[in-house]
Amino acid sequence: MTTIRQRIDTQHRDAIHDAQLNIYGNRLATCGSDRLVKIFEVRPNGQSYPLIELSGHNGPVWKVSWAHPKYGGLLASASYDKKVIIWQEVNGRWQKTYEWETHEASVTSVAFAPHQFGLMLASSSADGTIGILRFDGQTQQWQSSRIQYCHDQGVNSVSWAPGTADPNGKKRFVSAGNDKLVKIWLLNEELNEWTCEKTIHCHKDFVREAAWCPVTNKGQHSIVSCGLDGNLVLYRISDIDTAEWKSKLLEQAPCALYHASFSPCGSFLSVSGDDNMITLWRENLQGQWIKIPRENKEREGMGQQR
Amino acid sequence: MSSKLYSRSGVFSWGPRGIQSKGLIVADFAQFFDPNAVSVEQKIDFLAASDIYEKAQLTPNVSLPTNYRFNELSWTSMCSDAHPNGIVAGGTEDGSVVFFDADKFISGQKLEVLSARKDHHGHVLTIDVSKDGRWMASGGGSGQILLWDCANLKTPFSPGAPNFPDQVKLLRWNHKNESVFASISSRRVSFWDLRRNGSPVLEFAEIPGCDWSSLCWNPSDASQLMVASQSQNASVVQKWDSRFTQTPVKEYRHHNMGVTSLDWNKSDDRLLISSGCDGQVVIWNHETSEVLGGVGSLTGDWIRSVKWNEEEPAQFAIQYFQHPVQISSLTSLGVPQPGAEVLAARVSDQFVPAWHRAPLIGSSVSLGGRLATFWKSYDVMTQQFQHNVEVETIGIQEDVGVEDIAQYLHVKDDKRNLGWYLHERAYAQSTDSSEDSELRQKVWLILLALQEGAGRTKMLSYLGLVDAQNDDVFSDHNPTTHTNSQTTTQPTTTTDRSARSTSIVSAAETDNDMTEISVIDKCSEVNWAALNTSGWDLLLNTMRQDHLAVIRVLMSSNQHVAAMMYSAQHDTENLSMILEDYNRVTQNSNPLSALTLALSASASASRTETPSHQHATKEETIQKVYKICETFPDEKWRELLGLIIAHETNTEDIRLSATTIGQKWLSQGKNLRACIAFLIGGDIDQLLLSNTSFSQVDRLKQALVLHQVLKATTYSQGLEQLIIDFTNRLLTQGAGSTAWNLVKWCQNGSAEMQELQWTCYNVAGGRDCTGDQPPLNPYNISQPQIQNHQSPNHPMRPFQQQPHPSVLAPPAMANGFNPYNPAQSQAPPPPNDYMSNRRSSNIAPMPPSSTFYQTPSWNHKPLQPPSMPPNMPPPKPAAPVTPGWNDPPPMAAKSAQPTAPKQNVMEINWKPVETAPAPGGMMRGQQMNGFSGGMGYQNLMSNGIQGMTINNQPPSATSSSFPSPTAYQQRPASVASVSAPPPIQLTPEDEKIVEPINALAQIIIDNARVQARMEKAKEFRTRIQAELSPRLAANRLSVETKQHLTHLAYFIGMRQIREAQAVVAQMARNSSDFTEISSFLPALKSLLSLALQ
């Protein structure tokens, strides 16, 4: 199959920190140091058209996250200015619908929960807390709460566990922090309280990202985390309620790793790090993750730039 | 953005990087005495990093009594088995330097003093550890400096007699070079090099009015350091470059009273923190001179020192003289300490510290295998960084049958093409002749038969029971004409069969009005196992409708009655024959039989069948089929199916029995057989259970064809699940439109199916790309109306949000923020100072403009040896220096040479302290070396070279041989144009680097049409030879550079000049030994561009 790589002229005036496709791959949101969030329409042939440029942040925007299309066009952005902003498309026009500024330091990442959990998102911050925003359908308002003291020295990422059709399914997410830990959080529905269910020590340096595979394979959950120590670690659990997490070192990269994310089907894992390279992984039929050879155009002309 | 106060005051040291137990060590401060204190007991404490975060009140985890009070503490990261957490050293008030084991202390066991030699006179004012953790240097009164080897604490080293009598106030190791440190006294800054004995290698910053109090090195630039003055009249911080020590590079006035302490952030080299006698702590950016923020500090006290935490770049601690140690963070310190809110640190939102930086690269994947990538790249042409975003579809080499299913979807509505498609499958050449593969083909055959609506006979022939009579598989004849032709070939066949429908599937219409006795009813009585060969022949013949043969068989085995009966039912014309034969065999001469013979001929014409048969119930049928199956021999499975196809009249019954048989086979594990049975039975779900040995795409196609043949409207459950599974696979493969084509026909599917349809429709590109009407949007119902929540009564309404009520910074902090008195920042940087603008955000620094390298520097070079060890400054620029583009480039870290172990990196020329002179002898050394404070740079240089370990060959100007690098560099520039190739011994590897370059130059020279071009090429070649080869021979180049050169040689050898240019550009940007390569890089670059023309 031939691969068409289509360049998108984002017109960002500064560094780009994130580019996220929505689940269908027909919308692309980018954000960067120029404090803007931009949305593009992407056609299957790769052509793209700018839709909107969203301004509202006062600092570099680190991350964007799309809500499930079930909720219409809904995008959240996390910025260094301590704000989480939720943008909404109403009749084809994008506007800010909610702004949340309770974190005490840079908001490092934001993630919408799977739609089965309802309209909900989590944000991580350098102040060591995790914020949870939940849309209350009755009052039509966003309700916020914060989990204090999640990771010393800051939380770097949050990622939600896959949703289940079971309405009483437990809600979980995973967080990664500068205390070299990966933590799994579980919602106690009665008390409406998040508790740390499991703490995983598998890294020797800051953990930059932990990603929860958005699908389960015969009940088996997978999490991948990567960190500055170059380790890419896979965690698996056969039964989330009873079994124990098992970890496996997928790769020891020669450089610090910063991003790891799953595709919506959980079939791909993309990892990137200091070597300015994106590596793609996929799970083969035996359940092993293998690297896919890929032409790394990103690397050209970069070398060991800091 | 918070602060906390420790339980007491004292001198502190953060744990270094690479130590397991992180935290802060606090001990009593030597220059403080509190007359009101209850106890005079001295203690040394450890505060764990986690406690700083988790506890509101900071109390020591470990607190042990000690006899010492310290001026400064230092903690080395060099760990050994004996000291798993390194060693802590402290300079005390009584002249001893105390070393103790950190691990035993942190674990609370005891304070195990490893060494406490008293070699200093008076206070030991400062102690610092080198970057590699191996060396400690302590300084104190009378200009005395001692060097301690952490691996061997027995004997300190001394550089010899100091050349000044002042106190060494502070001493800091260079972060990039393990052998260099700087010290300050009140009046000057001194550089020391372990390799150089006797006196400082450099002394500078003797500025009248300045009283130096603090010093710090740039963590990423070996030549840059910052000094601070505590004098009230000149409360300045100055940035100096060690290569140009006439004047400071830049001056900062952020404090209006003396500056007491200064520290450079290790993780962000833009960020400095300084404290003043005015009690202010200011965080500022040295590149822009901008004050970024500060910390609330306790008033009425002086600040003795501020230090960043190396482990956690956002944290720093402040030592007051009387007040408790304050720990602050630019982010958060976790559990807040009540009352400490006013002390919170604040930094402008506009400034993003480098530790928030991540490499500007990443990606996200959506359904349809679409991958969005963003990354930063450097464009050589425009000399700018570019930020790229690309979208691509990931191609996987693995074939899940995307093409296959797409092909099927394409032909599925065209009966003829679909037939061909199946035909290809069914008659595919298979190398595998096992029973399994045969069966697989059979499955396709049956499917083909079903698809074309083949008649019973055809079906039997496909099963291999009947000889195919008509190979024209794809004839356009409909099934009925087919059977008609069959009847004409067998004119003996009588009417009794002709009325029966021949197609199993399309039989429904014709068969409905005709009920017949089910064969199953009868056959269940037969003992199949007992049948002999002639029995099977008979059965086969019945299927072939070769009645004569059947009758013959029967007659030959003297079963005339049976033959009679058979004939009576099937072919009455043979009755007379049977009778005749019977008569012949039994010699029957009874005229009755003759009469019967005559009657039968006429009766056959008017024979009608009795339609009054009651249908057996399903259960009964199943029971009976089972009974048949039991007695039927296993290898005769085809016959079993054939029996049903041929003799069963009712379509329903055929299906039911076929399905029943299939289930039985399935339970026996004969999946492929069961598959055929289910195909005949028309049961999709069961088919999908049995055809598991096929690939997923084949299974799907079989099911879909069957579905199509059955003209069913809704997908069965199993098929739907398979479609969903397969569609998801298609989506991951990036075949969005195929996925949509697959699911778009589904109507009234489950919720999951509807969602999938909607997803596929969108992935495929919506209306624009598919041309289809959108499917039902399953989410329309559940979409919440979130837009109303902007009602005015919303408590958190974003647009009218009040400014944050806390004490946090006002918005325009970068410009206006300085609650502590406006910063009188130094005159603006020179307009062409690329350093000042090179980072406005958290992007990695721009590589220096490559025009810098293009300046033909060799024309006025080398006046000074360019090949100095990295710690030495490069040659002093000849022209008056404007700090700007001509600034010396930042000295990068000395690349780690894996070959040499740490100990051997440097040669220590300092003498063990036993030989250290008595205090009286101090001044002697000064004379001996003939140093004066204001010593000229040139002089220093020559001294420096003598101290180096390089064998200094005397420059032999008359020698015809090419000079060695050192010698060469000392020759005047004009000599550089010697044309003789260097007779330098190169290793084969090096030869491989040099040879292609020379070859390239030769080619240019040979092909040059213009004289000037040839001259140029010659000149470049000479230069490269003169500069590169000796360096290679002397092994001067770092591993990295060599690697680059190898790549370069490779590309040149391949004549890929553009690639070679890229390599050169890369070398210019990232090479760590700039001084080395700068001598030949420009020539190399020019040669390449010449080659390109």
Query: pLDDT tens digit string along B798-835?
Result: 433 334 333 333 333 334 333 343 333 333 333 343 44
The pLDDT score that the predictor gives to residue B991 is: 80
End-of-domain residue from the set B320, B349, B378: B349
Instruction: Report the range of poorest mean pLDDT among A90-104, B317-331, B603-617, B682-696.
Output: B603-617
Instruction: Establish if B518 belongs to a structural domain.
Output: no
**Residue of A2, A23, A28 lying closest to B391 (CB–CB):** A28
Question: CB distance from B850 to chain A under 8 Å?
Answer: no
In three state form, how does the secondary structure of chain A look? CCCCEEEECCCCCCCEEEEEECCCCCEEEEEECCCEEEEEEECCCCCEEEEEEEECCCCCEEEEEECCHHHCCEEEEEECCCCEEEEEEECCEEEEEEEECCCCCCEEEEEECCHHHCCEEEEEECCCCEEEEEEECCCCEEEEEEECCCCCCCEEEEEECCCCCCCCCCCEEEEEECCCEEEEEEEECCCCEEEEEEEEECCCCCEEEEEECCCCECCEEEEEEEECCCEEEEEEECCCCCCCCEEEEEEECCCCEEEEEECCCCCEEEEEECCCCEEEEEECCCCCEEEECCCCHHHCCCCCCC
Instruction: Establish if B448 belongs to a structural domain.
Output: no
Q: Quote the mean pLDDT of chain B.
A: 71
pLDDT for B547 beyond 90: no
The pLDDT score that the predictor gives to residue B596 is: 61
User: Does the beta-carbon distance from A268 to B787 stay under 8 Å?
Assistant: no
Question: CB distance from B696 to chain A under 8 Å?
Answer: no
* Fold entry, domain A16-214: Methylamine Dehydrogenase; Chain H (2.130.10)
Q: Please, which pLDDT band fits residue A158 given cuts at 50, 70 and 90?
A: very high
User: Does the beta-carbon distance from A74 to B363 stay under 8 Å?
Assistant: no
CA distance B465 to B450: 17
Helices (H) and strands (E) in chain B, counts: 36, 33
Q: What is the CATH number for B237?
A: 2.130.10.10
The more confidently predicted of residues B780 and B31 is: B31
Q: Which residues are bridge partners to A257 per DSSP?
A: A273
Q: What is the largest CA-CA distance in chain A?
A: 55
Residues B263, B206 share a domain: yes
Question: CB distance from B893 to chain A under 8 Å?
Answer: no
Instruction: Establish if B1006 belongs to a structural domain.
Output: yes
Question: CB distance from A279 to chain B under 8 Å?
Answer: no
Q: Please, which pLDDT band fits residue B227 given cuts at 50, 70 and 90?
A: very high
Write out pLDDT tens, residues B987-1046: 777 788 888 888 888 888 888 777 888 888 888 888 888 878 877 877 777 777 888 888
pLDDT for A301 beyond 70: no
Residues B250, B146 share a domain: yes
Nearest CA in chain A to B781: A70
The more confidently predicted of residues B869 and A57 is: A57
Q: Smallest Cα–Cα separation from B557: which of B531, B589, B520?
A: B531
DSSP label at B863? S
Residues B756, B723 share a domain: yes
Q: Please, which pLDDT band fits residue A3 given cuts at 50, 70 and 90?
A: low
Q: Calculate mean pLDDT across residues B217-232.
A: 91
Q: Calculate mean pLDDT across residues B492-508.
A: 38
Domain around B1013? 856-888+971-1092
Residues B388, B275 share a domain: no
Q: Calculate mean pLDDT across residues A253-275.
A: 87
The pLDDT score that the predictor gives to residue B337 is: 84
Q: Smallest Cα–Cα separation from B993: which of B1026, B1022, B1029, B962?
A: B1029
The pLDDT score that the predictor gives to residue B574 is: 66
The more confidently predicted of residues B347 and A96 is: A96
User: Does the beta-carbon distance from B847 to A304 stay under 8 Å?
Assistant: no
Instruction: Report the range of poorest mean pLDDT among B533-547, B580-594, B849-863.
Output: B849-863
Backbone torsions φ then ψ of B698, nearest 5 degrees: -65, -40
Instruction: Report the range of poorest mean pLDDT among B62-76, B97-111, B607-621.
Output: B607-621
Residues B863, B754 share a domain: no
pTM above 0.90, yes or no: no
Which residues in chain B are closer than 8 Å to A88, comparing Cβ atoms?
786-787
Nearest CA in chain A to B801: A99
Q: Calculate mean pLDDT across residues A230-259.
A: 89
The more confidently predicted of residues A140 and A306 is: A140
pLDDT for B597 beyond 90: no
Residues B371, B292 share a domain: no
Taking the CA of residue B301 and the nearest CA in chain A, the distance in Å comes to 29
Instruction: Establish if B402 belongs to a structural domain.
Output: no
Taking the CA of residue A135 and the nearest CA in chain B, the distance in Å comes to 8
pLDDT for B681 beyond 60: yes
The pLDDT score that the predictor gives to residue B855 is: 29
pLDDT for B623 beyond 70: yes
Which residues in chain A are closer than 8 Å to B372, comparing Cβ atoms?
19-21, 28, 42
Write out pLDDT tens, residues B887-942: 444 554 455 445 444 444 456 777 776 544 444 434 443 444 444 444 444 444 44
Write out pLDDT tens, residues A196-215: 999 999 898 889 999 999 88
The pLDDT score that the predictor gives to residue B592 is: 66
% residues pLDDT > 70 (chain B): 65
**Residue of A17, A141, A179 lying closest to B789 (CB–CB):** A141
Which sequence spans correspond to the domains of chain A?
Answer: 16-214
Q: Please, which pLDDT band fits residue B261 given cuts at 50, 70 and 90?
A: very high
Residues B368, B229 share a domain: no
pLDDT for B962 beyond 50: no
End-of-domain residue from the set B591, B606, B621: B606
The more confidently predicted of residues B81 and A38 is: A38
pLDDT for B873 beyond 70: no
Q: Calculate mean pLDDT across residues B289-294.
A: 88
Q: Calculate mean pLDDT across residues B27-47.
A: 83
The more confidently predicted of residues B672 and B281 is: B281
Which residues in chain B are closer than 8 Å to A21, comparing Cβ atoms?
364-366, 370, 372, 391
Residues B382, B333 share a domain: no
Question: CB distance from A227 to chain B under 8 Å?
Answer: no
Decide: A149 and A143 in contact? Cβ < 8 Å.
Answer: no
CA distance B798 to B801: 5
The pLDDT score that the predictor gives to residue B316 is: 92
The domain tally of chain B equals: 5
pLDDT for B886 beyond 50: no
Write out pLDDT tens, residues B371-426: 888 888 887 788 888 888 888 877 665 566 677 777 777 777 777 777 777 777 77
Instruction: Establish if B578 belongs to a structural domain.
Output: yes
The pLDDT score that the predictor gives to residue B356 is: 78
Residues B774, B880 share a domain: no
Question: CB distance from A141 to chain B under 8 Å?
Answer: yes
Write out pLDDT tens, residues B79-134: 888 888 899 999 998 889 999 999 889 888 788 889 898 888 888 999 999 988 88
Residues B132, B40 share a domain: yes
Q: Calculate mean pLDDT across residues A281-295.
A: 82
Top residue of B371, B404, B759, B1039 to mutate, by most chain A CBs within 10 Å, is B371
Taking only residues 85 to 124 of chain A, the set having a beta carbon closer than 8 angstroms to any beta carbon of chain B reads 85, 88, 90, 96-101, 104-106, 108, 119
CB within 8 Å of B1079: residues ≥ 6 apart:
B858, B861, B862, B866, B867, B1027, B1031
Q: Which residues are bridge partners to A20 per DSSP?
A: A29
Residues B296, B376 share a domain: no
Q: Please, which pLDDT band fits residue B845 given cuts at 50, 70 and 90?
A: very low
B862 preceded by cis ω (within 30°)?
Answer: yes
DSSP label at B756? H
Residues B369, B320 share a domain: no
Question: CB distance from A46 to chain B under 8 Å?
Answer: yes
Taking only residues 788 to 847 of chain B, the set having a beta carbon closer than 8 angstroms to any beta carbon of chain A reads 788-791, 794, 796, 798-799, 801, 804, 811, 840-845, 847
Instruction: Establish if B600 belongs to a structural domain.
Output: yes
Instruction: Establish if B1018 belongs to a structural domain.
Output: yes
The more confidently predicted of residues B925 and B275 is: B275
**Residue of B389, B804, B1065 lying closest to A19 (CB–CB):** B389
The pLDDT score that the predictor gives to residue B856 is: 30
Instruction: Establish if B260 belongs to a structural domain.
Output: yes
Which residues in chain B are closer than 8 Å to A256, comparing Cβ atoms?
359
pLDDT for B339 beyond 60: yes
Give me the amino acid identity at B138: S
Nearest CA in chain B to A100: B798
The pLDDT score that the predictor gives to residue B800 is: 38
DSSP label at B36? T
